[in-house]
């Protein structure tokens, strides 16, 4: 049978898409559906679930509690909002750190560019846990940072950094910098320098050029980087675990506790669903808000 070119092309396309579709279907959609289902089931007495509809998992977080066993306690909502705050702060700090650096590196000669890009990705070569314990070494009262500051005479008593929120933020920013940097760099690198010259030539000051040309053209990178940093930041539990000690708890730690220690899978699942819903909402709001000016065919490439 003869097949037209179009149908051949379609055949090829489906063939190439099939493996990844199958993979995501089995290993992403499957577990996700299980979690979504569990979040609406009654927790079993010794772990696992009872197959009864049970909305109090979400109630405990959002404001209606099972009045028989417990009163509503806003502690979960507090942890949740606080995690949100930390995640947003991480996004802002990594953005501020990466944006100028991306410009600087993009203006370097090629071989220096590759060298600095290598440096940016260098942390990926070592295990995250090892790197975080290195931060413990740096930030602890007798650690490198305090010793240097004391040696310079800037402080008398070691600073209390480790196991505080500052340590968690430092660690989160440290972990997320490459994820913010790479999308921003990609869009900055694409920026045509002659556009900046054209802008100056047409009478725009540096600030005007930044606001009218540079910022809009690098916005896709900023949006992409922010999303990639925000998502894992909100659900992060390793960084607060290692650097926050017992004092800082983020929503990720709470989920981890519910699954591993409290063995309340439905409640953990409900918390995880909350994280996902928030991420989705923020992403949608952010993308529509920031890119509303690109009112036409241009779509964000994340």
What Å distances lie between residue 148 and 144, 155, 160, 173, 224, CA to CA? 6, 10, 14, 22, 37
Question: How many chain residues are in contact with other proteins, going by CB under 8 A?
Answer: 20
Helices within 140-264 (DSSP H only): 144-151, 165-190, 193-201, 206-209, 215-235, 238-243, 251-260
Select from 115-123, 149-157, 189-197, 240-248 the region that touches other proteins (CB under 8 A): 189-197
Residue 211 is encoded by which pair of tokens?
């606001």
135 and 170 in contact (C-beta within 8 Å)? yes
Identity of the residue, 183 or 266, whose beta carbon is nearer to other proteins in the bound complex:
183
CB of 290 to other proteins, least distance (A): 13
208, 247, 281, 289: which one contacts other proteins (CB under 8 A)? 208
Interface positions, 209-248, toward other proteins (CB under 8 A): 212-213, 216-217
Mark residue 93 as left, alpha or beta (left: phi above 0; alpha: psi -120 to 50; beta: remaining): alpha
129 in contact with other proteins (CB under 8 A): no
Identity of the residue, 97 or 204, whose beta carbon is nearer to other proteins in the bound complex:
204
296 in contact with other proteins (CB under 8 A): yes
110 in contact with other proteins (CB under 8 A): no
10, 63, 192, 277: which one contacts other proteins (CB under 8 A)? 192
d(CA 171, CA 90): 10
Identity of the residue, 50 or 197, whose beta carbon is nearer to other proteins in the bound complex:
197
Identity of the residue, 220 or 235, whose beta carbon is nearer to other proteins in the bound complex:
220
12 in contact with other proteins (CB under 8 A): no
289 in contact with other proteins (CB under 8 A): no
CB of 195 to other proteins, least distance (A): 5
SS3 79: helix
Rg value, the chain, Cα: 24
Closest listed residue to residue 76, CA positions, set 266, 278, 262, 255: 255
6, 201, 260, 292: which one contacts other proteins (CB under 8 A)? 201
Q: Positive or negative CA dihedral for 49, 55, 58, 60? A: negative
CB of 190 to other proteins, least distance (A): 10
292 in contact with other proteins (CB under 8 A): no
135-162 residues labelled b (16+ CB within 10 A) or e (exposed): bbebbbeebebbeeeeeeeeeeebbebb
Select from 1-9, 194-202, 257-265, 276-284 the region that touches other proteins (CB under 8 A): 194-202
Residue 238 is encoded by which pair of tokens?
């390793």
Identity of the residue, 61 or 214, whose beta carbon is nearer to other proteins in the bound complex:
214
Select from 94-102, 139-147, 150-158, 205-213 the region that touches other proteins (CB under 8 A): 205-213
CB of 100 to other proteins, least distance (A): 21
Closest listed residue to residue 167, CA positions, set 179, 157, 175, 156: 175
204 in contact with other proteins (CB under 8 A): yes
d(CA 1, CA 91): 56
Direct distance between the N- and C-terminal alpha carbons of the chain, in angstroms, rounded to an integer? 41
Instruction: Summarize as ranges the residues that interact with other proteins (CB under 8 A).
Output: 192, 194-195, 197-205, 208, 212-213, 216-217, 294, 296, 298
């Amino acid at each position: 049978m003869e097949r037209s070119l179009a149908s051949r092309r379609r055949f090829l396309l489906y063939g190439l898409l099939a493996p990844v579709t199958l993979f995501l279907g089995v290993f992403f959609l499957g577990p996700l559906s299980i979690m979504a289902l569990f979040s609406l089931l009654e927790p079993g007495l010794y772990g696992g679930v009872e197959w009864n509809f049970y909305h109090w998992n979400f109630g405990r977080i959002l404001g209606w509690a099972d009045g028989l066993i417990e009163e509503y306690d806003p502690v979960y909502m507090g942890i949740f909002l606080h995690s949100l705050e930390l995640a947003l702060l991480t996004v802002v700090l990594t953005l501020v750190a990466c944006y100028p650096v991306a410009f600087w590196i993009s203006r370097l000669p090629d071989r220096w560019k590759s060298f600095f890009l290598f440096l940016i990705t260098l942390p990926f070569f070592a295990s995250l846990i090892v790197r975080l314990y290195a931060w413990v070494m740096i930030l602890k009262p007798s650690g490198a940072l305090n010793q240097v500051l004391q040696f310079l005479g800037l402080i008398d008593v070691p600073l209390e950094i480790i196991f505080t929120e500052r340590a968690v933020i430092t660690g989160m920013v440290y972990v997320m910098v490459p994820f913010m940097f790479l999308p921003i760099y990609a869009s900055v690198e694409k920026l045509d320098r002659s556009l900046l010259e054209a802008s100056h030539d047409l009478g725009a000051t540096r600030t005007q050029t930044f606001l009218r040309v540079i910022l809009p053209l690098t916005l896709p990178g900023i949006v992409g980087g922010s999303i990639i940093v925000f998502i894992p930041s909100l659900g992060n539990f390793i960084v607060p675990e290692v650097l926050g000690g017992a004092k800082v708890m983020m929503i990720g730690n709470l989920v981890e506790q519910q699954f591993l220690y409290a063995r309340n899978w439905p409640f953990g699942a409900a918390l995880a669903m909350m994280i996902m819903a928030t991420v989705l909402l923020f992403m949608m709001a952010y993308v529509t808000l920031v890119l509303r000016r690109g009112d036409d065919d241009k779509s964000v490439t994340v």
